[in-house]
A and B are shown apart, each in its own frame.
Chain A
Amino acid sequence: MKIFNKRSFKLLLLMTIIASLLSGCSSEVGTSSGQSPECVEKDTYIVGLDDTFAPMGFRDDNGNLVGFDIDLANEVAKRWGITFKFQPIDWSMKETELNTGNIDFIWNGYTITEERKEKVNFSEPYLEYSQLLVTLANSEFNSIEDMAGKVVSTQGESSAVDAAYAQPGLVESFKNGELVEFPTYNEVFNDLEAGRSDIVIADEVLARYYMKNKGEEKYKILEENLGLEEFGVGVRKEDPELLERLNNTLKDIKEDGTYDEIYSKWFSAN
């Protein structure tokens, strides 16, 4: 009997093609650091990020990961004498990714909230910003009160959602008593432009980035905002030593001026 007939050869060829297609994607296996907190100093840590979150972590024209958070994380890694691995994740899965040990840090414009503190440990805050209220330039809305009965939208699973719900009765006052949530700010701003949303709640950092891209003159930022917020790095609760080490390094980076260098690279001085 012929072992290699034409058909089995074709099948083999197909298998090879698939293997080579998928091998291009490095198949890392989930780290099990979740179960072994005593093993603090590893060769590498995996930074989980949503790679569509400009300017904190996103892809540049060449598809490379860039952003404020990437630079900051790389600086930390440099000082630890290692390199971090950046793993894109789906943002809705971030805490699950962390707590199942598939990533070691959530580090991508991760806003510190009380609710999230129950699930992860936060580093000391490394960036502050406001939740802005944005409308089209020609709109007549000017204050938080004007949001009553309007279509208000933002990015789902984001700190803007938390900020909106933190104001008693605010979301209930919106049209249909709901806050419209989109997967990304890109869709949020598209919806505003299309005239379906009246007002957008957005992280200051992001809002300014998107407005710059889409043409600042088209938008109006209300004077009132939904308060100050802070970004921190999420670390597994089982890794207190890692958190302490990270906090110390972040403190060093701030004190010796490296932080300001990175900041001025990504944000305007005012």
Chain B
Amino acid sequence: MNVFNMLIPMTIEGLRITIGVFLATLVISIPLSIIVAKLRMSKNKIIAKITGIYIYIMRGTPLLLQLMFIFFGFHYIPLIGFAFGRYQAIIIAFVLNYTAYLAEIFRGGIGSIDIGQFEACQVLSLSKRFTFMKVILPQVVKNVMPSIGNEVITLVKDTSLVYILGVADILKAAKSVSNTYSTFIPYIFVGIVYLLITAILTKLLDNFESKFSYYR
């Protein structure tokens, strides 16, 4: 059918954006969120408070608004002599937003580790850093995997918000084709693409989770 001659190349173009935003957000956010979680749990009250405010703002406002603010908002703040490009703004907004959500998950995960694990490391003269990397984090990752998996799947769908900055992801591609041909088919097609991506991710996440099932 004629529609697909237009739909398939445009969807492939859109996939570059959808997958690009998805991977960039994950690769940057996950390590960053572990650091933010540690800052949030810091004994230094000021650091913990500032991190808390950051998380509050990111979780308390829509990602769409954050995208708009980061791309357009700086223009309205006097004496800021720069503006982000569209793609920069997208990555910054997504990373800031997802880091906040993931940080809360990691904070919960770290908090759920038995204090005895920390003490066992302490009496064995392990450094705090080594303790965290080798003993605590591996257990945290196992505990938080289901929640992280949820966020990963949500992220796939959230990438469609880039439309607000005029960037064409797969949903926007469908919208364009739908308008040209006045048909609903592209939306069904792109829905299937989302389901396929989610199916692949679910499989990958399951595999990753089962890697941690060797212990209880």
A→B interface (CB under 8 Å): 11, 14-15, 17-18, 21-22, 24-25, 27-30, 32, 34, 48, 51-54, 58-63, 87-90, 92-93, 96-97, 99-102, 184-186, 189-190, 210, 213-214
Contact = CB atoms under 8 A, between A and B. Distances in A.
A14 B25 CA distance: 12
B116 to A, nearest CB: 29
B5 interface: yes
A59 B23 contact: no
A61 B176 contact: no
B83 A101 contact: yes
B180 A59 contact: yes
Given A30-B85, A90-B164, A97-B166, A63 B13 contact: yes
B6 A54 contact: no
Interface string B142-186: 000000000000000000000111111000000111111110100
A88 B16 contact: no
Interface string B40-52: 0000000000000
B123 interface: no
Contacts of A29: 83-85, 88
A34 B19 CA distance: 33
A90 B23 contact: no
B203 interface: no
Given A87-B166, A100-B83, A61 B16 contact: no
A186 B9 CA distance: 21
Main secondary structure, interface of A, reads: mixed
Contact of A90 (B10, B83, B163, B178): B163
Interface residues of B, number: 41
B68 interface: yes
A78 B214 CA distance: 68
B182 A213 contact: yes
B17 interface: yes
Contacts of B24: 18, 22
B174 to A, nearest CB: 10
Contacts of B10: 59, 63
Identify the 5 closest CB pairs spanning chains A and B, nearest first: A21-B20, A89-B166, A100-B75, A213-B182, A52-B179
A102 B165 CA distance: 10
B16 to A, nearest CB: 5
A96 B75 CA distance: 10
Interface of B: 2, 5-6, 9-10, 13, 16-17, 19-21, 23-24, 27, 68, 71-72, 75-76, 83-88, 91, 163-168, 175-182, 184
B164 A93 contact: yes
B6 to A, nearest CB: 5
Contact of B23 (A18, A34, A189): A18
8 contacts: A11-B27, A18-B23, A22-B87, A28-B85, A59-B180, A90-B166, A102-B71, A186-B178
Given A51-B176, A53-B179, 15 more contacts: A15-B27, A17-B23, A22-B87, A28-B85, A48-B166, A51-B168, A52-B175, A54-B179, A61-B2, A62-B6, A88-B166, A93-B166, A99-B75, A100-B83, A185-B179
A11 B68 CA distance: 30
Contacts of A101: 75, 83
B165 A90 contact: yes
Contacts of A32: 83
Contact of A27 (B9, B68, B85, B176): B85
A111 B108 CA distance: 53
Contacts of B19: 21
A123 B2 CA distance: 38
A92 B165 CA distance: 10
A27 B182 contact: no
B177 A25 contact: no
Contacts of A184: 175, 179
